[in-house]
């Protein structure tokens, strides 16, 4: 079966003209998903707080159902090690999703142009014949698509906890690998008055008015904080377990290196890596970055609030 990435749009605002559609926005990126079945455009619960009214979208997805999906024939570019693999496709890229529960063949296939703006999402009737159909945008497809698109708009997603202390006019990003203490940090800050937690695991950064905005995302960690809000960023802290709640200022090169190691970058294309480095260099130039060897109790919050650099 030959498939093409690009599909003709049927309405002047860029939508596909299907009878059912939904819109959401994550990290400042607006998305429309449309299809001919009601379930095609139903947002999963994690995306509902990010739902927006209809309008022009940066990413447009058309859902289609096919009898079955054949094995991929293009050159493989990346294997996530879980449910999806990335291949070259005509005019763009092909993401295949598979799981042993639904058989050997892909249960859905995302065909997207090289700008990550227009996509066809093919769902396999064969795979769901004896199973309830999964929501088209279930995780990780939503995150995969947004992450790829961010490379085009000079933005980046980080393994991080985002804290907004609105009464103090400050917002902090706590960056860390799994187990570094992001969810613990979110829980400790949640008891502070006037604090909003944008996410305890994934944050998107974008340049805005000469500074950096951080956005909450739907993809939370153990503490399950996920907000659609955003805030200008005041400081970044690279988390590590330690004693004394010690804070050390990072140089520009140190900051870029530490942030890159904790970012979601499509490493399969050098231009995407270059774009990520450009963004992180801008982050390091505009936002103070520190290493934070912290102890997991309320004193680590007080240490940040008293910081004067």
How far are the Cα atoms of 12, 61, 80, 297 from residue 55, in angstroms, in the given order? 11, 14, 33, 45
Question: Domain holding 222: CATH number?
Answer: 3.90.228.20
Indicate whether 104 and 164 sit together in one domain.
no
Indicate whether 134 and 198 sit together in one domain.
no
Nearest-angstrom CA–CA distance, 263 and 159: 6
Phi-psi region of 224 (alpha: psi -120 to 50; beta: other; left: phi over 0): left
Domain-embedded: residue 195: yes
Indicate whether 164 and 282 sit together in one domain.
yes
CA-CA-CA-CA torsion sign (259, 76, 7, 69): negative
Nearest-angstrom CA–CA distance, 224 and 184: 11
Domain-embedded: residue 64: yes
CA nearest 222: which of 164, 177, 162, 179?
A: 179
How far are the Cα atoms of 105, 165, 272 from residue 39, in angstroms, in the given order? 22, 39, 33
Instruction: Give Cβ neighbours of residue 77 (< 8 Å, ≥ 6 apart).
Output: 86, 87, 88, 93, 268
Indicate whether 191 and 87 sit together in one domain.
no
Range of the domain at 68: 20-150
Indicate whether 175 and 295 sit together in one domain.
yes
Indicate whether 185 and 126 sit together in one domain.
no
In order along the chain (309 residues), what is the average pLDDT of each group of 10 residues? Answer: 39 62 96 94 95 93 96 93 93 94 93 94 92 85 95 94 92 96 96 94 93 96 96 97 95 98 92 94 97 95 88
Indicate whether 76 and 110 sit together in one domain.
yes
Tell me the whole-structure pTM to 2 decimals: 0.91
Last residue of a domain, which of 150, 180, 212?
A: 150
Indicate whether 200 and 292 sit together in one domain.
yes
Nearest-angstrom CA–CA distance, 267 and 273: 6
Domain-embedded: residue 284: yes
Indicate whether 268 and 283 sit together in one domain.
yes
Domain-embedded: residue 80: yes
pLDDT for the residue numbered 64: 95
pLDDT for the residue numbered 16: 54
Indicate whether 100 and 182 sit together in one domain.
no
How far are the Cα atoms of 58, 123, 229 from residue 32, in angstroms, in the given order? 8, 17, 19
Indicate whether 258 and 296 sit together in one domain.
yes
Domain-embedded: residue 90: yes
Q: For the chain, how many structural domains are there in total?
A: 2
């Amino acid at each position: 079966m030959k498939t093409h990435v690009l599909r003709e749009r049927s309405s002047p605002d860029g939508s596909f003209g299907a009878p059912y559609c939904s819109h959401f926005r994550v990290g400042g990126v607006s998305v429309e998903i449309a299809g001919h079945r009601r379930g095609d455009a139903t947002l999963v619960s994690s995306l509902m707080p990010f739902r927006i009214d209809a309008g022009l979208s940066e990413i447009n997805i058309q859902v289609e159902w096919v009898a079955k999906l054949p094995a991929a024939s293009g050159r493989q570019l990346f294997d996530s090690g879980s449910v999806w693999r990335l291949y070259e496709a005509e005019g763009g890229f092909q993401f295949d999703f598979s799981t042993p529960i639904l058989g050997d063949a892909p249960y859905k296939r995302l065909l997207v142009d090289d700008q990550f703006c227009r996509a066809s999402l093919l769902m396999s009737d064969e795979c769901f014949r004896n199973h309830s159909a999964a929501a088209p945008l279930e995780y990780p497809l939503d995150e995969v698509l947004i992450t790829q698109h961010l490379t085009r708009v000079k933005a980046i997603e980080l393994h991080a906890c985002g804290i907004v202390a609105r009464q103090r006019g400050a917002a902090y990003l706590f960056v860390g690998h799994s187990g570094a203490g992001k969810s613990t940090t979110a829980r400790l800050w949640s008891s502070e008055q006037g604090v909003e937690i944008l996410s305890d695991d994934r944050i998107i950064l974008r340049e805005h008015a000469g500074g950096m905005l951080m956005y909450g995302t739907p993809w939370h960690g153990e503490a399950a904080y996920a907000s659609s809000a955003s805030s200008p960023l005041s400081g970044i802290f690279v988390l590590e377990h330690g004693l004394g709640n010690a804070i050390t200022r990072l140089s520009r090169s140190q900051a870029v290196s530490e942030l890159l190691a904790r970012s979601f970058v499509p490493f399969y294309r050098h231009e995407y890596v270059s774009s990520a480095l450009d963004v992180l260099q801008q982050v390091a130039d505009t936002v103070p970055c520190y290493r934070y060897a912290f102890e997991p109790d309320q004193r680590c919050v007080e240490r940040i609030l008293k910081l004067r650099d």
